Copies of this chain bind each other. A is one copy, B any other.
Amino acid sequence: MPSDVRPPDGGPGTLGELGEFGLIARVAARLGAPPPPVGPGDDAAVVAAPDGALLATTDLLVEGVHFRTDWSTGHDVGCKAAAQNLADVTAMGGRPAALLVGLVAPAATPVAWLDGLADGLRDEAARGGCPVVGGDTVAGPVLMVSVTALGHPGPRPVLRSGARPGDAVVLLGSLGTSAAGLALLAGGVPAGLDAGIAARLLAAHRRPRPDYAAGPLLAAAGATALCDVSDGLVGDLGHLARAGGVAVVLDGMAALADAPWLADVAAAAHALGGGAAAAAQLVAAWVLAGGEEHSLVGAVPPAALPVVVAAGGRVLGRVAAATSSPGAPGVTVGPTALWSAADAAAAVRRPGWDHFA
């Protein structure tokens, strides 16, 4: 965080100077007028549920774990906090209805950072078509943002557990760009990497932009199971395989070959040096196990494929019956021109990550 936090207008520079009620008023002003009938400051917001039900999901972002203030602006963090929750709504086939936000912040937090956070939450919520309807702010030793997203379900919520053998496994969105961007932040952008590519990958990590139309589209097409890529492709499809009692066979990854984002990912892997073999390992790890991407993967009946492909979706593989052997992997990945079977196996062995280990 910048050390000189004095704003040019002479207003409060830190949260401690602004105070709790000053912060609430300032954030409420930036978030804009809430929907009637309830404004900020009441005990609870009222969220319309025209379908007779609401989707609800909650997530936490902690400074030093999920973001760094020297890598991401407050606006970045606000956008990302909103995006990862709204992606969960779309992963149920739903549309965003409302966000609630909790903020823990040290008294020394620059007000400008908090302004950015509020703006980012508002901007990404607006991109998803929903307002921020409530919140809470308290003091604490590190910055933490909790976001709860509410959503309007479609005619039926699309769960993780519904995939059936014979379904196609499809992807709407990118893979590995957030992980590649994180690697550039951690290791520095190599001199040989095109500046435009670097900027796209850094932005993908700092401000993922989920396609909020993708979930309702796949749900309407008859998707049997959906989830967003938050733990990594193989990790998230593993959840889907276990929940549905099926196996996922990713034997169509060659379908990604012409994806423009894959060219970005491959360029970054090569620019980091180490030769072709090392680059292939990086690409496999980023694409197969990179988290925080918030693209949508799911299982759809083959009859739905024309709709999915027309919407830009790619077929990555298929759902098969689970094998009866204990310990059999829920997800298997074939080799492609981009990585070897050994690279894929290594990436699959580290799906997702454990925050507490």
A169 to chain B, nearest CB (A): 17
Query: Which one of A18, A62, A140, A157 has the greatest number of beta carbons of chain B within 10 Å?
Result: A140
Which of these, B20, B44, B59, B138, contacts A62 with CB under 8 Å?
B138
Question: Is there an interface contact between A54 and B138, defined as CB atoms closer than 8 Å?
Answer: no
Taking a contact as CB atoms closer than 8 A, the residue among B16, B45, B49, B104 that contacts A144 in the complex is B104
Kindly report which residue of chain B lies nearest to residue A90, judged by CB atoms.
Answer: B43
Assuming A60-B102, A239-B41, A355-B137, is B146 touching A146 (CB within 8 A)? yes
Residues from chain B with a CB closer than 8 A to the CB of A227 are 43
Nearest CB in chain B to that of A156: its residue = B37
Q: Which residues of B contact A46 (CB under 8 A)?
A: 53-56, 92, 153, 157
The reply to whether A62 and B104 form a contact with Cβ atoms under 8 Å apart is yes
Find out whether the CB atom of A133 lies under 8 angstroms from the CB atom of B44.
no
Give A23 to B6 CA distance when docked, in angstroms: 43
Evaluate whether A56 and B150 lie within 8 angstroms (CB atoms) in the complex, with A41-B160, A356-B105 already known.
yes
- In the complex, per-residue mask of A127-141: 1 if CB is within 8 Å of any chain B CB, else 0: 000000111111111
A20 touches B354 (CB 8 A): yes
- CA–CA, A146 to B137, complex, Å? 11
**Minimum CB distance partner of A353 in chain B:** B20
**Which one of B48, B107, B157 contacts A53 once the chains associate, using CB atoms below 8 Å?**
B48
Best-surrounded residue of A61, A133, A148 (most CB of chain B within 10 A): A148
Assess the B91–A58 pair: CB atoms within 8 A.
no
Segment at the B interface, from A93-101, A116-124, A318-326: A93-101
Contacts of A51 in B (CB 8 A): 49
CB distance from A131 to the nearest CB of B (A): 11
Counting CB contacts under 8 A, is A337 at the interface? no
What are 5 A-B contacts with C-beta separation under 8 Å?
Answer: A23-B356, A44-B157, A47-B54, A49-B53, A104-B144
Given contacts A41-B160, A43-B228, A44-B55, 14 further A-B pairs with CB under 8 A are A20-B355, A37-B159, A38-B159, A42-B160, A42-B243, A43-B226, A45-B56, A49-B51, A58-B136, A59-B102, A60-B104, A60-B146, A62-B104, A138-B355
